[in-house]
Amino acid sequence: MTEHTPEATVLPGADANRRQLLYWRLLARLLDPEEQPGLETASLAVVEDIGLPPALLDPQSSVDAVVQRHPELADEFDGLMVPEPDSGDRDRAAEVRRAALVSKVLLNVFATGTGTVTAEQLARWQSDTGWLERALGYRPGELRGARGGTGSAAGPTGTAAGGRTPDLSTLLPAIGPELGALEADLVKRMHLREVLADPRLAARLTPSMSLIEQLLRDKNNLSGVALANAKALIRRFVDEVAEVLRTQVEKASAGSLDRSVPPKRVFRNLDLDRTIWKNLTNWDPEQEQLYVDRLYYRHTARRTTPQRLIVVVDQSGSMVDSMVNCTILASIFAGLPKVDVHLIAYDTQALDLTPWVSDPFETLLRTNLGGGTDGTVAMALAQPKIAEPRNTVVVWISDFYEWQCGPLFESMAAIHRSGARFIPVGSVTSSGRGSVNPWFKERFKDLGTPVVSGHIRKLVHELKTFLA
């Protein structure tokens, strides 16, 4: 028998202690805004010793300000928190440096303080949060449901993490919605009407879903310069999101080629390879010339049939993100050939927004966010629009927490049985997070029309598949 000898315990070295010190200081500042002199002094010594600027420890200094003075740090923030492959060897000195940079980003984002927020403070928080998103391997705005969150092809700055795709579930689950909640709280703490009344301050605002929600809720209380600035912010956000969504629609499948339609005999449709192949029998070896007696052209026409798309959106307080995204998405589909788009918004009352569906900005200005939820009033507007069920798709976006569950579901089941395509969608957000009434969820599943996951890319795919 050989006596088992336990492995020797590895005592943490100086670098491990330094790393731990920086994270203890981070936790202390997040839990209590008051400085702990001992932790601050020791952390400052560590940061200076590893060659990083002391401004990393200043909560009042934005990441932008640090990077502006020390541009070599910008690349270090990109992908900073993306998990690295475990190679077995740990670079503890690099971990200390990473801890200092991570602490800076997390403290600036999550230590939001209390009291009134200025336009400058909101702008700085939005910028710092963009750096956190870059550190997690995403483009600025992507996790908060802003422009990048709907799948933009490019972010405002950088490419984030060199193309790596991090698994957020191993990092901070549901961090996107939590960042959105923090931003919404900052917007509520800001005297928005006073900011909008001052063109200089209004110009500092960066449109985001949280800000747009507040503007839409308060638009009836604004006038003059404040209303004009609010509309400018809404239109700017709408245009940016529309550009992203339009790209997604264009990338989705567009239907099969219709070979029953003769190809247009124009030069851009000329199939040169096929033309040469089919005329090889006319090759003259003596003259070394190919005589072409027939040209071949590519088919470009695609099979399309007139389709009616009816979008019904719950505009109650919990569905603001969906209302904004779906209004823009409906306008994009309204611009496609042979697609007849109708848009209905509802809470306890229903509003037919079809006359303005091609202009999402004007549509959003006519919404009335908030209130309860009664889908039966929207159903009363939607059902008469189903003239040809086989060529109709009804997209119903809601959390389905309804006042009259039974009657509403029966009406939805009747639409499905009629031959129309019925697509229930839990929410249409960038994060894909949304609560759906389990009573409806189970019945939709039994009906054979399961609730589509809330990510907007999935809805785009569903619609293009039907309309193609």
Whether residues 247 and 311 share a domain: the answer is: no
Whether residues 232 and 378 share a domain: the answer is: no
Contact indicator for 377, 394 with CB cutoff of 8 Å: no
Q: How many CB atoms lie within 10 A of CB 43?
A: 26
Domain holding 409: CATH number?
Answer: 3.40.50.410
Whether residues 459 and 314 share a domain: the answer is: yes
Whether the model clears a pTM of 0.85, i.e. scores above it, the answer is no
Whether residues 460 and 327 share a domain: the answer is: yes
Whether residue 126 lies inside any domain: the answer is yes
Whether residues 203 and 352 share a domain: the answer is: no
At CB < 8 A and 24+ separation, what contacts does 158-162 make? 158/74, 158/78, 158/134, 159/78, 160/78, 160/79, 160/133, 160/134, 161/78, 161/79, 161/82, 161/134, 161/136, 161/137, 162/78, 162/79
Whether residue 165 lies inside any domain: the answer is no
Whether residue 12 lies inside any domain: the answer is no
Whether residues 196 and 328 share a domain: the answer is: no
Whether residues 377 and 418 share a domain: the answer is: yes
Whether residue 102 lies inside any domain: the answer is yes
- Where is the domain boundary, 251, 281, 315? 251
For the chain, 468 residues long, give each residue's pLDDT as a single digit of tens. 444 444 433 335 788 899 999 999 999 998 887 888 899 999 999 999 999 999 999 888 899 999 988 999 999 998 898 877 666 677 888 899 999 999 999 999 999 888 888 888 888 898 999 999 899 888 887 777 544 443 333 333 333 444 444 444 444 446 777 887 888 888 888 888 888 998 988 888 888 878 888 888 888 888 899 999 999 999 888 888 888 777 766 665 444 444 555 666 666 677 888 888 888 888 888 888 888 888 887 765 544 455 888 999 888 766 667 778 788 888 888 887 778 889 999 988 899 999 998 888 888 888 876 667 889 999 999 999 999 998 899 989 888 888 889 999 999 999 999 999 998 988 765 554 567 889 999 999 999 998 886 567 777 777 767 665
| Residues in contact with 428: Cβ distance below 8 Å, sequence separation at least 6, in sequence order | 321, 322, 325, 326, 329, 397, 454, 455, 456, 459
Domain of residue 55 covers: 29-81+91-111
| 40 vs 89: CA distance, rounded Å | 30
Whether residue 270 lies inside any domain: the answer is no
Whether residue 416 lies inside any domain: the answer is yes
Whether residue 129 lies inside any domain: the answer is yes
Whether residue 329 lies inside any domain: the answer is yes
| 405 vs 51: CA distance, rounded Å | 63
Whether residues 151 and 241 share a domain: the answer is: yes
In total, how many domains does the chain have? 3
Whether residues 220 and 323 share a domain: the answer is: no
Whether residues 361 and 388 share a domain: the answer is: yes
Among residues 331, 336, 364, the alpha carbon closest in space to that of 235 is found at 364
The DSSP code for 270 is: B
Instruction: Go through 53-85 and write b for each residue having 16 or more CB atoms within 10 A of its CB, e for each that does not.
Output: bebbbeeebbbbebbeeeeebbeebbbbbbeee
Element (H, E) at 83: none
Whether residues 58 and 134 share a domain: the answer is: no
Contact indicator for 343, 370 with CB cutoff of 8 Å: no
